[in-house]
A = this chain, B = another copy of it.
Amino acid sequence: MPLPGRNRQVVLKSRPLGIPQAEHFELTSAPVPELGKGEFLVRNDFLSVDPAMRGWTNAAANYADPVGIGEVMRSFAAGEVIASRHPGYAEGDRVMGMLGWQEYAVTDGKPIRRKVREKDLSLSLSLGILGINGVTAYFALTEIGQPRPGDTVVVSTAAGAVGSAVGQIAKLAGCRTVGIAGGPQKVNSCIEDFDYDAAVDYKAANFTDTLAAACPKGVDIYYDNTSGPITDAVVRHVNKNARIVICGTASVASWEPWPTGPRIERHLLNKAVKMQGFLIWDYEHRYEEAVAKLAVWVRDGSLRYREDILDGLERAPDSIAGLYRGENSGKRLIKIRHA
């Protein structure tokens, strides 16, 4: 196959405060460099769009260094090796890793997270249900949440890429599942697509009442993807020895300076509640264990997923802002159309 000459890329143009908008990015192109010894070339087929990417564009200290101005936007991507001078990677290998918002990536292998060996399944799944989203849902729920049959599990952004997996994995563990989502369409998706026992619309005026009614036995596990007022409402209902998994903070636009909210220490004490932040990096060594479990469930139809695939690199700059506008249904991806 003739190697490509130009590589179209999306770079960070200026640093946003809070959520990055289309104007903070720029579409450019660069020549594809020659492969050095130990390097290989990946043709990206799918780019990932994740809420965490907001943090990567911000200057505030975070769990990853910020993306520099003028640098290709950091992102997960999945593609195929089309040329290789690396002994561990051959032409035709399918890989997933931190390859960035670009058509092609030359790499020494360090940003590669894994080879994608589920050849019967779409490569896009390695960025969603069989990727960070599914693996996060699996470990954060099972290791921090520790679901037991009969537990009531409440999930925020319940129809999202992580949330929808959490709800279904909790259901497979014998729990009663309550989803929180924004708007009738997503609430409906919770029930129809992801098998939640109940779903609550946080945008509805009667949200707190509906939530209480949906949790008649209180809340044993709260899987928090939002923080903010949604979390404040759920926390009131936690049972003794409840577990709160902090996996995302999507509802809070800016954390610098720290916003204020209700103090929860007394409540956590009175109920002996555990609240714990989850970072996937702490489970890197167990990644394949989760993928193997998830793939079984995907193949037998007990774990469903939705993808929200944007067509073409041009859609990338506005795609993170769109996530925060809540316009996606399912895991958001960008599909690259190669010339």
Residues on A facing B (Cβ under 8 Å) = 55, 61-63, 224, 227, 231, 240-241, 246-249, 252, 255, 258-279, 282
Contact = CB atoms under 8 A, between A and B. Distances in A.
A227 B273 contact: no
A270 B282 CA distance: 12
Contacts of A227: 263, 265-266
Given A63-B272, A260-B261, 19 more contacts: A55-B270, A63-B240, A224-B265, A227-B263, A248-B269, A249-B266, A252-B263, A255-B266, A259-B262, A260-B260, A265-B277, A268-B276, A269-B279, A272-B276, A272-B277, A272-B278, A273-B277, A274-B274, A274-B276
Interface centre among A231, A266, A267 (most CB of B within 10 A): A266
Contacts of A265: 224, 227, 231, 246, 249, 252, 277
A129 B227 CA distance: 39
A318 B240 CA distance: 32
A230 B288 CA distance: 42
Contacts of A269: 246-249, 277-279
Interface centre among A62, A258, A274 (most CB of B within 10 A): A258
9 contacts: A61-B270, A252-B265, A252-B266, A260-B260, A261-B261, A268-B275, A268-B277, A273-B277, A274-B277
